[in-house]
Amino acid sequence: MNLIKLGALAMAGMLAVATATHGQETRLFVDDQGHEVTIPVSPQRIVSLRGEQFTAPLYELGASLVGSSGLVNEAVNEGRPYVRGAYDALDFRFEDSGVTWVGSPNNHDYEAISAVEPDLIIIPDFASDDYDRLSLIAPTVVLQVWGQDMLDMYAKVADLADREETFARLNARYAERLDRARQTVAETVGDTSKISVAVASAFEDRISVYRDYGTLGQVLRDLGFSMPAIIAEMEDANADLSLELLPRIDADFMIDTYWTARNQSPTQKLEAWDAVLPGWRDILHAGRHNQVFMINREEMRAVSFQALRSVLDIIVSQIGTRDFVPLSPNS
């Protein structure tokens, strides 16, 4: 009996996938896990199961998005579902976007996904266990989230959504803005490759450091800044650091983030540093010379050109327009 039910479900899934692309021109796409997937050339009903990395760029590109995963937090959007990053950077709201909430990133609502009749589903690599089940609903593509260049991932999303021209236009505008920013920053600090920036965050009982941190990491790389060796050599994008190793993250500048969804403020994050490591301002160069600043974490979470521009403007205003004391006298 179970085998009969399973076979019926599989047949229904295959019919659903066939229906999803029926009458559409299709092409073969090889995803980041090597799946060869037949997808529509120009998808009309996309479901994204990763908000800040996939939903945000799809929305910014004007793609045909019909469903997205999202978070629920009583402190954000009056407790209604929201897409982290896109909520702040792109003013995205499920309520007025025409996009259906299809569950949380770790708890997909398969009935809701089926109900919006997608012709393409995009999922992150860490949700690949759901691939087979989702593939019964519509052609499903897996994209790697961490460990690849943010704009490379954005370009893949644009390719999937048939929005390459829009991506190219937005990228060109960002490149122009980036050139101006490089000139402004260079006038203050000189050769950015000789200037180090540490991205670190204090919590109640630990210090975390970040080698790659979404839009912030992208902008710092694009501007050519270096980072302390202990961070640059990490295998993972982030790691907790024991307090005795803290002097090894010494840098010209240090950036921390605060999380408005958790009612954090820049002042509270500085107090967290004081609590975890009293006297840190005397230990770290950036602390001694007031070269520490904060960025709203929600504004830099979204993979979007709007977030890139916002973070770029913050970096220029904080680094490119202040008196600068280099960590190394040879900088």
**Residue 26: in which H helix or E strand, if any?**
strand 26-30
**Per-residue pLDDT reduced to its tens digit, 41-86:** 999 999 999 999 999 999 999 999 999 999 998 888 889 999 988 9
Decide if pLDDT at 95 tops 50: yes
Q: In degrees, to the nearest 5, what angle opens at C-alpha 76 toward C-alphas 107 and 309? A: 95
What tokens does 244 get?
């005795």
Q: How far apart are CA 111 and CA 151, in angstroms?
A: 32
Which CATH superfamily includes the segment(s) 175-319?
A: Nitrogenase molybdenum iron protein domain (3.40.50.1980)
**Per-residue pLDDT reduced to its tens digit, 168-192:** 999 999 999 999 999 999 998 999 9
Handedness of CA 141, 146, 148, 151 (dihedral sign): positive
Query: Residue 17 CA to chain centroid, in angstroms?
Result: 29
Q: How far apart are CA 103 and CA 113, in angstroms?
A: 9
What average pLDDT does the segment 192-216 reach? 90
Q: How many CB atoms lie within 10 A of CB 183?
A: 11
Q: How far apart are CA 71 and CA 49, in angstroms?
A: 11
Q: In degrees, to the nearest 5, what angle opens at C-alpha 164 toward C-alphas 163 and 169? A: 105
- State pTM to two decimals: 0.86
In the chain, ranges of CATH 3.40.50.1980 domains: 2-164, 175-319
Give the class (CATH, top level) of 2-164: alpha beta
Name the least confident of 13-17, 109-113, 127-131.
Answer: 13-17
Decide if pLDDT at 3 tops 60: no
Decide if pLDDT at 7 tops 70: no
